[in-house]
Amino acid sequence: MEDTDEVLVARAGSGNREACRLLVERHIGPILAFATRVMGSQADGEEVAQEVFLRLWREARRWRSGKASLSTWLHRVAFNLCLDRLARRREQPIEGAEEAADPGPGAAEVVEEEEVARHVNRELAKLPERQRVAITLCHYQGLGNREAAAVMGVSVDALESLLARGRRTLKWRLSRIAGDLLG
């Protein structure tokens, strides 16, 4: 039987690197996916993921189960790191940063799977940060509404407002490239 997160965190807290490795292997997939979607780049997502697990190692001794699951805690740390990095990115805009091209009304014939995925990612990246985080947590990460609200530090009502606005925007933007699908 596999050790629970709580057992592994306790071992990691006492300096057991193998326990830490098991935690990394268990949780890095969802955290990388979350950070990549929120940051809009896999390279940035990987940097955030590295920092998240470094913090887990440092804080393992003090981490206590009960208040939140380890997954929620990791998402929360990743969320804060992403917001910090996005804020710095706004302060120091990168020269020649790729701007998502407006596909225009004539692009409805884009049906290739990879192409659709690219458009979805691009439109997700263009959403306001909190809407993007809310959709990522609930749709892609599979968190329940209370858990997602806890990660973001908002009420469930506020989370639902972010989700509804985000999905409405995505539906409108994606309808221009896949109008036949969205009907």
Residue 109 is a binding residue for another protein (CB under 8 A):
no
Q: Which of 38, 70, 81, 178 binds another protein (CB under 8 A)?
A: 178
DSSP string over 60-124 = TTT--TTSS-HHHHHHHHHHHHHHHHHHHHHHSPPTTPPPPP---GGGTT---HHHHHHHHHHHH
Residue 50 is a binding residue for another protein (CB under 8 A):
yes
Q: Which of 3, 42, 129, 154 binds another protein (CB under 8 A)?
A: 42
Residue 139 is a binding residue for another protein (CB under 8 A):
yes
Residue 171 is a binding residue for another protein (CB under 8 A):
yes
- Binding segment toward another protein, per CB under 8 A, in 38-46, 63-71, 73-81, 97-105: 38-46
Question: Which long-range CB contacts under 8 A does 77-82 form with residues at least 24 apart?
Answer: 77/52, 78/31, 78/34, 78/35, 78/38, 78/48, 78/49, 78/52, 79/34, 79/38, 79/133, 79/151, 79/152, 81/35, 81/48, 81/51, 81/52, 82/35, 82/38, 82/39, 82/48, 82/129, 82/133
* Count of positions on this chain that bind another protein (CB under 8 A): 47
Residue 154 is a binding residue for another protein (CB under 8 A):
no
Rule CB under 8 A: which residues touch another protein? 14-15, 17, 20-21, 24-25, 28-29, 32-33, 36-37, 42, 45-46, 49-50, 53-54, 57-58, 113, 116-117, 120-121, 124, 135, 138-140, 142, 144-145, 160, 163-164, 167-168, 170-171, 174, 178, 181-183
